[in-house]
Structure 1
Amino acid sequence: MIADVLSETATRMTRAVEAAKEDFATVRTGRANPQMFQKLMVEYYGTPTPLAQLASLANQEARTLIITPYDKSALKDIEQAIRDMPNLGVNPTNDGNLVRVTMPELTEERRKEYVKLVKSKGEDARVHVRGIRRKSKDELDALKNEVGEDEVARGEKELDALTRQHIDLIDEALKRKEAELLEV
């Protein structure tokens, strides 16, 4: 019973860490990165559709991303969705076959803003992991009458170790992204 709770907790915490890493990847650095556009929704025939389902994304060079739509009629919609994307500051160009996105150089001030944004996302991820821990602790406490207090106490120690391990993984990913953002 305790092992089941801990196993489920580990799975949920791992998913939270992966979600945090994906979230970090959406914050732009000085380079063009197709992952920045993973969560971009494009209005396609009246339906919000993920960009990855409408086009292929490829890096042409360090700061240029090429988006080739599978359906050429979606070019204008893709271009508009990129232009409307918050916190990006790019102006995509459309040559009739593909959309070219050139990332401008980041200023020092903009880099610091992005670092703050990433730190905020990291704190949100830590809070989420601690929320998972709290829910699992409640589940362990509910098992006290069935398995005994000593077993529950041991389970709580394992739960704390799991929580520390996953928060450390988030902090590590955060440091990597911060270094990437501050790299000139």
Structure 2
Amino acid sequence: MNAVAKHVTRRLLEVSNATAEQAQSRNSRLRTRFPARPAEPSWPHTARPLEETLRRLTAPPFLPAVNGTRAGRRRGVTKLLQWLSSFPGETWQQRWVASGAEGFPGAAWVELPLRWLRECGSSPSYDCGDLSSGLLMLICGDVIRPGLPWMLTRTHRHLASVMAEVRDPDGFARLHQLAESGPTSSRKDS
């Protein structure tokens, strides 16, 4: 019996040996072909009241198995929502933008709510960790949508796993399945 071998001819990436001018031209064509979508000003989860948002983000599917993680997330969400409430806006997203946090790359954003918490007389215990966990919940819960430039300055080792767990488990499972069945190079990206 003859074995059937599958061969895929891969086209070399046109950027591999491209000059800066060629890459710029290619990127310009791609931006024209795939224009950025405008940011939505509002969506259901960003327009919910504080208590409803807090209840939602501290209930399944947002509850991790570890009690300490669960408590830190609850404290973080509570502190961040209280801090964001001090800014003008009809939605959490508008308040997030008004906070100026996106002007502070990486982990530097945490200084803004920390300063506010100190001024309000809040106990500083666990604040940095809590705020980071709270931000994770606000993003994964689609309460706020930080801009891409700011997100690229942040690293959070749990973002992808928590997003897959709470936002769209079926979609992420399908994506993982597609990556597993695709070329070897796509497997390391999943």
Q: Shorter chain as normaliser: what TM range?
A: under 0.3
TM-score by length of 1: 0.25
TM-score by length of 2: 0.24
Structure (1/2) with the larger strand percentage: 1
Structure (1/2) with the larger helix percentage: 1
